[in-house]
Amino acid sequence: MRLALGIRYNGQAYEGWQSQRSGRTVQDKLESALGKFADRPISTLCAGRTDAGVHGLMQVIHFDTDIARETISWVRGTNRFLPPDIAVQWAQPVPDAFHCRASALARRYLYVLSQSPVRPSLDAGRVGWSMYPLDGDSMRVAAALLIGQHDFSSFRASACQARSPVKDVRRIAITRHGEGDRCRWHFEFEADAFLHHMIRNLMGCLVRIGRGDAPPEWIAEVLAARSRKVAAPTFSAAGLYFRGPQYDAQWGLPPEATLGHAGAPYDGPP
């Protein structure tokens, strides 16, 4: 039987998703918990690897097992062995043809940015930060220039293992929450897939434009250059949340994992 699980986690304490020798990754903690619940080793695959410090609102994983348990038991039983900052949200049997990564039709990220004269404290590690006021209209004009299928080499980390830098960005929404010199910005990204550090590199450029250090049209020049050297520095991982993949309804996954659904709600800092 193949099972798919939806996972939420706070990434502050971990060295990213993918298993490392240190054992301090989300995958290591999850597989350890699954192994204790199932009383045998379980190896998992995920929909999208996240970097150190990046959070997951709905990571989707799958694995194969011959153990027959109620789906709710996979949720509650695994959570019993997980640390407080990682929790299984749902479990769902899926056909053998389902693959959490290859079957995904889209992926979504959210970046939460605090605009404030002073750095974050209570929500440190859960939001990015700009001490300078940002111009939302300029950032939205720039974001619109990124929509569509492009070569995103300028926003690709040197360690990226993707076969192609061409990705189809379908949506970037930028909203402000609050007034004055203290507010929150939400940056929502949706694409068929993303390159390593792509969101954080896009954020670096958008924030530079929002501060008035470059015009909105500059981001089109960066895109056309296909060179990481011309883009802004990689932005902090602190405010980045993987909202999760989206799949065709045929797989029978929960609504928040179905293409076109608004997705899991963000319940971080207001």
Residue 259 lies in a domain: no
Q: How many CB atoms lie within 10 A of CB 256?
A: 18
> What pTM value is reported for the model?
0.95
Angle at the Cα of 35 from the Cα atoms of 31 and 40, rounded to 5 degrees: 135
- Residue 86 and residue 41 in one domain: yes
- Residue 131 and residue 84 in one domain: no
* CB of 107 closer than 8 Å to CB of 190: yes
Report how far apart, in Å, the C-alpha atoms of 59 and of each of 30, 90, 130, 155 are.
Answer: 12, 11, 27, 23
* CB of 235 closer than 8 Å to CB of 203: yes
Q: What is the pLDDT of residue 180?
A: 86
Q: What is the pLDDT of residue 270?
A: 63
Averaged pLDDT, groups of 10, the chain, 270 residues long: 97 96 97 96 96 96 94 97 98 97 96 96 95 97 98 93 94 94 96 96 98 98 96 96 96 92 75
- Residue 75 and residue 137 in one domain: no
Residue 266 lies in a domain: no
Number of domains in the chain: 2
Catalytic site residues? 51
Q: What is the pLDDT of residue 213?
A: 97
Q: What is the CATH number of the domain that holds 54?
A: 3.30.70.580
- Residue 115 and residue 80 in one domain: no
Q: What is the CATH number of the domain that holds 197?
A: 3.30.70.660
Helix (H) or strand (E) holding 88: strand 86-94
* CB of 219 closer than 8 Å to CB of 146: yes
- Residue 63 and residue 83 in one domain: yes
- Residue 151 and residue 187 in one domain: yes
Q: How many CB atoms lie within 10 A of CB 24?
A: 14
